[in-house]
A and B are shown apart, each in its own frame.
Chain A
Amino acid sequence: MLCHDSKLEPVGVCRMCAVEVEGARVMAASCIREAEAGMVVKTASEKVDRCRAMLTELLLSEQREESLKESTTGDDELYALQRRYDVTVKLPQGNSRPMDDSSPAIAVDHQACILCDRCIRACDDLQNNDVIGRTGKGYTARISFDLDNPMGISTCVTCGECVAACPTGALLNKELSAPMRPRSELKAVDSVCPYCGVGCGLTYHVDTEENRVVFAEGRDNPGSQGRLCVKGRYGWDYVQHPHRLTKPLIRVQYPKAALSAETVNSDRDGKRRKPGGIVDYEEVMPAFREASWDEALDLIASKLGGIKAEHGPGALAGFGSAKCSNEEAYLFQKLIRVVFGTNNVDHCTRLCHASSVAALLEMIGSGAVTTTYGDVCNADVVLVTGSNTTSNHPVAATFFKEAARAGAKMIVVDPRGSGISEHAWRFCQIRSGSDVAFYNAVMNVIIAEGLVDEEYVAQYTTDFETVKETVARYTPEFASAICGVSAESIREVAITYGKAKAAVTYWGMGMSQHVHGTDNCRCIISLALMTGNMGKHGAGLHPLRGQNNVQGASDAGLIPMVYPDYQPVGQDDVRAKFENAWGVALDPNPGLTVVEIMKAALAGTVRGMYMLGENPFLSDPNTNKVRDALTALDFLVVQDIFLTETAEFADVVLPATSALEKNGTFTNTDRRVQVGRQALQPPGEARTDWRIICDIAARMGHPMEYGSSADVFDEMVSLMHAYRGLSHENLGATGKLYPCPNPDESDGTIVMFGDGFPTENGRARFVAAEHTGADELPDAEYPFVLVTGRVLEHWHTGVMTRRSHTLHAREPEAFVEIHPDDCTDNGIAAGDFVRVSSRRGAIRLKVRPSAACQPGSVFIPFHFREAGANILTTDKLDPDGKIPEFKFCAVKFERLDP
């Protein structure tokens, strides 16, 4: 009763569920004792009740006068037992034990701990983090973190799984927002986490009077199974930040330029103003004035309409957002295509998995994952490549770690060590940019060892010979010289993968964000195909999608070359279908992609833009170029919930709503379409994004009217074969994995392509790739390789996460990771400031020595405006995916005086 939690293995330590077994001298813990035939059990008796009452009293005698959980959320399970068994505590109070307040989000009250073990199992078995253990013995036993450190300085990642598991007030959510009122007085809203593509189900507990979220909890769904990470559990308080935009803003300060110091120039040696942070409103707001919705919308319609009239539809472009719902993505692309009259619509998928999708579409005819992250439990070999899963897909990582612990061989291939590589069976730390050489050698071995699934290749694929021919030259010895992994290791890994009964591949942007990103993906797709690791449980391909709705936004057509459901704009019959549905003639030419649009803005061919929830100033490569591009636009509308760095260049800023303030569907990395539900009222005059889109359409002479987001969904589904059968209603509480043609009977499809592929001939096509290497190699002047990426606590450009108390407290400032040997060679110590520069710019930030980097390589997360990593990155693109090379450019660094 106290130690039991249905998600955890029973341990039978609290003894509160002890029952009488006839014929036995001792009582049995019913949570763990298996019933046997003929066993006579008394679950209720005077003896049972008296024992429970006594145990309750013993435990209560160690508690504080008042339970911190009982006086807040009112759901302390020990006190519930006290009420149930009518216990008055007559025993003298026990010793006092300390309070540990060191974590930003979690209070640890050792006095209230009853050693039920739930937090330990939650940390170790569910999240597989192994932070919480026990130390001491007997009465002095207590839970402990790592080396018995305070929680706040331990390696705890603040996922809060322990808090969710704790039955008493020993592990408590600190108050982040409104006072914690009893659970029964709060409204529980079932929704979906707004951060990454894992799309964890969660429940917001809302104080409706205060219009505030009080706390969030994981909610069981077939994917995330109730687990959350620090962002999901503690990262929602940004929506209540005082910086929220509540009224439309119109620019008054011209000529246009960047406004805050960091945006004007991040390379400010010795002129640091404030550490870290967010746009300084005092600095930026004077450039704008508040306006009514009518005035703002009229201005937008006239300016954008004017540009279209004068320069043609191609002078307009829009960036939608993978943070918004499917409905909003659908309407946004519809607005751009139907009202603006151009296909210049794209979003951040271009920056994350465009190359993965390009390779997948080309080879297997579908850009989505072929199996789920949870299917890892059915694999005996797991390949995780180019993915810092523990930081970027933390809850998916818990399943990977669990599989590894259960005996699956996890092979991690990555230039940079990360949390997931610590759980690897083999970690192949390849040199940056050598993926193709490595995987070609793996395929070379598989072919040489006769591990090709000839039957599968013959039945389901074409063009195997091209790959066979290409990889013939990539012997392990040849590749080893390129990738730095020993030939022996390559062989071992190849043979292990080749012999697997079921091998599944998960990859992240370490694969995709290269000028050879599409080639990288071609290799791992070929690898899966030639070994027949497709169309069965525990096998397949899964690019881990970044944003909560990057899968959905792509599905919904927020891509310049395709309509919803990846239907090419250039294909006449397809276009006719959409023209018919939307009632206008459509542009037959594919539009420009994200980076191309920026280049066009700089060249003056794109003049007006509508940006919905994107912040390219920080997220796009080569910031100095982006700054010029944004400045060059004639007219820029930014629609967001905060004043972003990009909004500093806007002519009109529209106040939008956060994910917690509206209804809509989101499609996660697994293809699970889930309904996000409104938990809060939007602040001030902020409007729901999809309504704003409709408002603009109407002002521009093309009314789009919908009663609700469910109506938008229905229209969208009618044009998307993959989503057929789905509606808000039948998605229910836990959503569906598309394709799911019978949603009333099924949760949807986990494994795709058991019998062929959605290509013209029904077969997958092998495409060979040659190792070409990165665009900008290190040289004498810029001798280091820069790899950019993310950290667990922050999300993309930090607009949301840096306004969250817990996330900011855990990771408050920009840093660069440098290998300890390189630090020593350059006379640099932890905490020193360095100036890191590339051919495109320079930034200044703090050093964090880390053996996770390879010598000769540095890592910088791109979330931090005060040291934007993209000032350094190159905007060279992959020829097929049009994705920039965020994972490789040449830099140098020098120590700055304190």
Chain B
Amino acid sequence: MIQETRAMLEFADDPKQIELATYRKNGGYDAFEKALKEMSPDDVTQEVLKSGLRGRGGAGFPTGRKWQFVPKGNDKPKYIAVNADESEPGTCKDRVIMEQDPHQMLEGTLLAAYAVGATTAYIYIRGEFQKSIRIVEDAIDEARAANLIGKNILGTDFSCDIWVHPGAGAYICGEETALLTSLEGNRGYPRIKPPFPAVEGLWRCPTVVNNVETMACVTQILRRGGDWFAGLGCEGSTGTRLFCLSGHLKRPGVYELECSTDFTLRDVIEQIGGGTLSGAPIQGVMPGGSSFPVLRADELDCGFDIESVAKAGSSLGSGAIMVFDDTVNVRDVVLNISEFYSHESCGQCTPCREGSDWVRRMLKKFQTDGPDEGDIATLMDVTDKMDGTTICALAVAIVWPVQSFLKKYPEAFAEKVTA
């Protein structure tokens, strides 16, 4: 049987873990204190590089390398922005950290700030997470009172402030550049890269944007060592990860797992998720949030790691595994997905603004009337052109799942025979 490996969630079930005293009693902030007093900023980065940590927001970029992009010897202020705008459908893990072990994220944030020389960090929490906002703000207050945040932390030269910044309900603000635009007080429009945020982010200053879980991992890495982290999971997918199992499962939930090539995605769905609630056969799985291609029931025997799922034609993305059984019409599923992304398109650039809604309208028609002759080809053609022509990746988040549904469930999208 696959078992959870609880590192980040080790103390998450203790309701007192959100309090500083309990967190400290459980070893919290020791790693930060040690880093401050015994390690150079570069040592911290090296430890993270050694761990093989890849960002937990969905794109999986190596965290240590991201930090290294921050220019050194630049007199501009540097910032950390923690991406807590958790909005990818199926994803509900960052909230667990914030609501059950907020200091773990704060400690990671402080470590990141120390590593890159940032003096201010903003935790951009989606506005709907009022509970998370309250808990994190309380945690910050406690930490500030204990001189873990603020000026001359623990008597050292290092100063760093942390503030919660609530969002207001826009999925796109989880895109790192849109998050920055939004944080500056604007409509959340993604920015054209390059320049990347690590070079030009908030107020055109170097800014590291990391996901909440990534920050929690940083804490674990500095607490237990980069080697320890690298020894968990498998190559390319080191450490533990939080996976969110949802949909037609017997045991939906957030689980901390190691990736492995020794067991399969199907094993996780069955052993951790408990298989389908109704007992009906699985029809399909979105293994990494809804923005990646769907896997059919016969495609689930791939290894449970980033590489293997990619080889199977999808992605582990944000770790959101959504399962649907054969009681649901895939036309409804893909329409629901397209409704999400067309609603969440920011509207800035043409292919996404026009294309995403056009796709939604087409899929609505497919759902109610079925496709006319040529419609499928047109839809494939339009989505092809949306791929790779936009400012950010939201357009491909509608293109990939939609194209995959059309390809993988041809029977559900059989064209009407015109008389």
Contact = CB atoms under 8 A, between A and B. Distances in A.
Direct contact of A and B (CB under 8 A): yes
Contacts of B347: 115, 134, 136-141
A18 B387 CA distance: 12
A866 to B, nearest CB: 46
Given A12-B391, A18-B389, A138-B357, A58 B342 contact: no
Interface in A10-31: 12-16, 18, 25-27, 29
Interface string A100-141: 000000000000001100000000000000000010111111
A148 to B, nearest CB: 13
Nearest to A91: B358
Given A61-B354, A141-B347, A141-B353, 12 more contacts: A13-B349, A13-B391, A14-B350, A26-B389, A50-B385, A58-B358, A91-B378, A137-B343, A137-B346, A138-B343, A138-B345, A138-B357
Contact of A90 (B343, B344, B357, B378): B378
B303 interface: no
A270 B390 CA distance: 65
Contact of A58 (B187, B194, B350): B350
Contacts of A15: 349-351, 389-391
Contact of B354 (A2, A51, A58, A90): A58
A12 B192 contact: yes
A45 to B, nearest CB: 13
A207 B391 CA distance: 43
A7 interface: no
A153 to B, nearest CB: 23
B35 interface: no
A62 interface: yes
In the A-B complex, list the 6 residue pairs whose CB atoms are closest, starting with the nearest.
Answer: A141-B347, A139-B357, A138-B345, A54-B385, A26-B388, A58-B354
Contacts of B353: 115, 138-139, 141
A25 B357 CA distance: 24
A14 B347 CA distance: 11
Q: Label chain B's interface by main secondary structure.
A: helix
A577 interface: no
B12 interface: no
A156 interface: no
A33 B389 CA distance: 13
Given A26-B388, A33-B192, A94-B358, A139 B345 contact: yes
A14 B349 contact: yes
B192 A139 contact: no
B363 to A, nearest CB: 13
B382 interface: yes
A32 interface: yes
B350 A115 contact: yes
Interface string B55-90: 000000000000000000000000000000000000
Given A51-B389, A58-B351, A134-B187, A139 B382 contact: no
17 contacts: A2-B350, A15-B389, A18-B389, A26-B389, A27-B388, A32-B192, A50-B385, A51-B385, A54-B382, A55-B350, A55-B351, A55-B389, A59-B350, A91-B382, A94-B354, A114-B350, A137-B346
Interface string A66-83: 000000000000000000
Given A12-B391, A94-B358, A137 B345 contact: yes
Contacts of B346: 137-138, 141
Contacts of B381: 54
Interface in A34-52: 34, 50-51
Contacts of A136: 347
A59 B354 CA distance: 7
B356 to A, nearest CB: 7
Q: Label chain A's interface by main secondary structure.
A: loop
Contacts of A54: 381-382, 385
Contacts of B356: 138-139
Contacts of A91: 358, 378, 382
B121 to A, nearest CB: 27
A129 to B, nearest CB: 18
A55 B389 CA distance: 10
B180 to A, nearest CB: 16
Given A58-B382, A61-B358, A139-B342, A29 B351 contact: no
B308 interface: no
A15 B187 CA distance: 20
Contacts of A16: 350
Nearest to A141: B347
Interface in B110-147: none
Interface centre among A32, A58, A94, A140 (most CB of B within 10 A): A58
B279 to A, nearest CB: 39
A612 to B, nearest CB: 54
A16 B354 CA distance: 13
B170 interface: yes
A13 B385 contact: no
B147 to A, nearest CB: 36
A54 B355 CA distance: 10
Interface string B339-372: 0001111111111011111100100000000000
Interface centre among A13, A27, A32 (most CB of B within 10 A): A13
Contacts of A29: 192, 391
A17 to B, nearest CB: 10
Contacts of B349: 12-15
Contact of B385 (A2, A32, A55, A140): A55
Interface string A333-361: 00000000000000000000000000000
A18 B356 CA distance: 18
A92 B369 CA distance: 15
Interface in B166-209: 170, 187, 192, 194
Nearest to A55: B350
Interface in B368-418: 378, 381-382, 385, 388-391
Contacts of B390: 15, 26
A249 B347 CA distance: 62
A58 B355 contact: yes
Interface in A134-170: 134, 136-141
A16 B349 CA distance: 10
Contacts of A62: 354
Contacts of A94: 354, 357-358
Contacts of A14: 349-350
Interface centre among B170, B378, B391 (most CB of A within 10 A): B391
A13 B348 contact: yes
Contacts of B357: 94, 138-139
B349 to A, nearest CB: 5
Contacts of B342: 138-139
A114 to B, nearest CB: 7
A29 B388 CA distance: 11
A264 B342 CA distance: 67
Interface string B12-51: 0000000000000000000000000000000000000000
